Amino acid sequence: MTVEPMLTEETPASALVARVLEEAGIEMVFGISGGHTGRIVSGLSNYQNSIRTVLVREESLGGVMAEIYGRLTRRPGVLLGQGPWVLGNGLIGTIEAHLSSSPMLLLTDFSDAPRFTLHAPYQQATGDWGSWDARRAFGGVTKHVMQAHEPIGAVQATQLAIKHALCGQPGPVAVLYSHDSLAGSVAPQSQPMLYPTLHYLPSPPPPAEQRRVEAAAAALLAAQRPVVIAGNGVRIAQAYGQLRRLAETIGLPVATTAAGKGCFAETHPLALGVFGTFGTAAGNACVAESDLVLVIGSKLSPSDTAWENRALLDPTRQTFVQIDVEPRNASWNYPAEHVLIGDAAVILGQLLHALGSADGARRREAERRVAVHRERHGYFDDRAYAADDQPILPQRVIGELMRGLPEDAIVTCDAGENRILMTHFYQTKRQEGFLQAAGSGPMGFGIPAALGAKLVHPDRPVVAVCGDGGFAMTMNGLMTAIEHDIPIVTVVFNNKALGWVLHGSGRFAAEFNDFDHAAIARAMGCRGVRVEDPAALAPALREALAARTPSVIDVATSLEVTFADITSQLAKDASPRRR
């Protein structure tokens, strides 16, 4: 292939930054113009047919939307805005991308004033005396920080940031532009030479070593009671189909981490739901009795593994096979006898090839094991799914979601007790049906996550589930929903409290007034319905799904059910607090 130069005529650097995003296949940019980044917005105006610029009301919304875009598309989500506020307000999406390995770009600036950088100008972030240091600040929450001080650097830093965001274990990369880098132009013969962005995009991930794949396949076939633990790495690699085929080929029950919930349909006869601290009893029992554990894209942190209770996972009695794109994650918390480094989709494909034809007898035996545990311990069959209590029990709300949402619906969750209840009680029906911020767990995630998911999948119903605390943090996202025609449904668990705080620490500084969130939504131009009678839940959800406008269902929910009620005894036994 002949490499052509990028330019044939002199072009403003701001327009070239926008061109780089288009060449990388990035279809959306989220944020607020500010500081020097307004020049990039001007450049994006020339690419409106290929890049959708989504103006948000506050940077935290744009950060979460960008993180979700990266998580669902394998292309970097872009948050654009001024340095102090991309850092300060946009941090929840950035930290989630950093901890959950979502590719993301933070396109921001030094807010510098040329010639006066040593005189402490307003907002400056160069790290000089009297300024704050953007490079150090962003460095603590990203994979890497690029900086550009001249026009060519603005283009190359953007290209390299895309490469770094995608290579190896994905994550967020910040680009800090100076005033001069975006104010100038680049000529065709400028040095260093600029080349098209395709040359900076990572190559397809290499396969794992074949001998290691064959050894892992042999261990899987030799195991009598193998099980899969699927983490968020399955989602990042979009390895849903490969995971399902592997499970069906040789009979592997599948449990997920909380972060991995939504990677495998929990209605599948081999599904165990989430395992660990807030997992299903059936999932924990099946994992605990296993003799081999295939871990895909998970660090197996203490919050996943019931505080590393050895009755659940124990490398002295179980063989571990671990697939991860990052070598440092392998054998991190549990020694693995078989380590396969690389992209989960690629490696699962290799395992399928090494294992050969499907074994119907093994699959039937695995389905029997799963059915026995479901029957013995229960599995998404809580009686409170149909309870008529008032205030309404959270399980009744979740039950209506399970009954009323179509199979292709996407549910996004906020943080707090509502997310724990959803993780435990809500049964997903297909892949990519559930998204949560399991890496960092910030409140205010549910609504912008739903906006991002709806933009990526406009033909799928998307429902945000949040508490009244999380709703208050990002209800301004509904303004963005109205302005950009993003018809999401928001279900508010309105218990007039921070449930996690109240049930964990007591009522002091944990209770709210009883606000009518439906009325607030109507004032913004959304549909808004207040529900206090359980019988009104199903019609409210049905009407919201049929509407072509953003809708809010404000549900008066009970505080009777707590996160402690669904905490596994395994976690209680091994908790550091107990010790």
- The span from the CA of 499 to the CA of 416, in Å, is 7
Which CATH number goes with the domain that contains 176?
3.40.50.970
Per-residue model confidence as pLDDT tens for the chain (579 residues)? 688 999 999 999 999 999 999 999 999 999 999 999 999 999 999 999 999 999 999 999 999 999 999 999 999 999 999 999 999 999 999 999 999 999 999 999 999 999 999 999 999 999 999 999 999 999 999 999 999 999 999 999 999 999 999 999 999 999 999 999 999 999 999 999 999 999 999 998 899 999 999 999 999 999 999 999 999 999 999 999 999 999 999 999 999 999 999 999 999 999 999 999 999 999 999 999 999 999 999 999 998 999 999 999 999 999 999 999 999 999 999 999 999 999 999 999 999 999 999 889 999 999 999 999 999 999 999 999 999 999 999 999 999 999 999 999 999 999 999 999 999 999 999 989 999 998 898 999 999 999 999 999 999 999 999 999 999 999 999 999 999 999 999 999 999 999 999 999 999 999 999 999 999 999 999 999 999 999 999 999 999 999 999 999 999 999 999 999 999 999 998 877 654
Q: Is residue 4 part of a domain?
A: no
Amino acid 105 reads: L
Any idea how long the chain is? Answer: 579
Sign of the C-alpha dihedral, residues 170, 443, 65, 298? positive
Looking at the structure of the chain, the number of domains it has is 3
Question: Are residue 177 and residue 220 in the same domain, yes or no?
Answer: no
Q: Are residues 61 and 196 in the same domain?
A: yes
* One domain, residues 195 and 249: no
| Of 48, 165, 168, the residue nearest 106 (C-alpha) | 165
Asked whether 228 and 255 are in contact (CB, 8 A), the reply is yes
316 shares its domain with 387: no
The H-or-E segment that residue 523 falls in is helix 517-524
Task: Check whether residue 506 and residue 394 sit in a common domain.
Answer: yes
Kindly state whether residues 290 and 161 are assigned to the same domain. Answer: no
Chosen domain end from 377, 403, 430: 377
Residue 214 lies in a domain: yes
Q: Which of 362, 377, 392 is the last residue of a domain?
A: 377
Residues 102 and 45 in one domain: yes
* Residue 578 forms part of a structural domain: no
Per-residue 3-state assignment (H helix, E strand, C coil) for 23-65 = HCCCCEEEECCCHHHHHHHHHHHHHCCCCEEEECCCHHHHHHH
State whether 429 and 560 are in the same domain.
yes
Q: Which residues, at least 6 apart from 333, have a Cβ–Cβ distance to it below 8 Å?
A: 299, 300, 301, 302, 305, 308
Measured CA angle at 199 (ends 193, 201), to 5 deg: 130
User: For residue 167, which of 203, 193, 211, 139 has the smallest C-alpha distance?
Assistant: 203
C-alpha span between 444 and 463 (Å, rounded): 14
Structural Rg of the chain based on CA atoms: 25
Structure tokens at 468: 């009244």
Q: Is residue 488 part of a domain?
A: yes
Q: What is the amino acid identity at position 70? A: G
In a domain? residue 576 = no
C-beta separation of 267 from 433 below 8 A: no
Residues 110 and 192 in one domain: yes
Residue where a domain stops, chosen among 200, 235, 261: 200
Asked if 303 and 401 sit in the same domain, the reply is no
> Which residues are CB-neighbours of 132 under 8 A, at least 6 positions away?
84, 124, 125
Residues 241 and 136 in one domain: no
- How high is the pLDDT of residue 578? 53
pLDDT of residue 577: 63
- The answer to whether residue 290 is domain-embedded is yes
Q: Does 574 reside within a domain?
A: no
In a shared domain, residues 340 and 362:
yes
Q: Which domain holds residue 400?
A: 383-566
**pTM of the full predicted structure?**
0.96
Domain CATH for 266? 3.40.50.1220
Domain-embedded: residue 549: yes
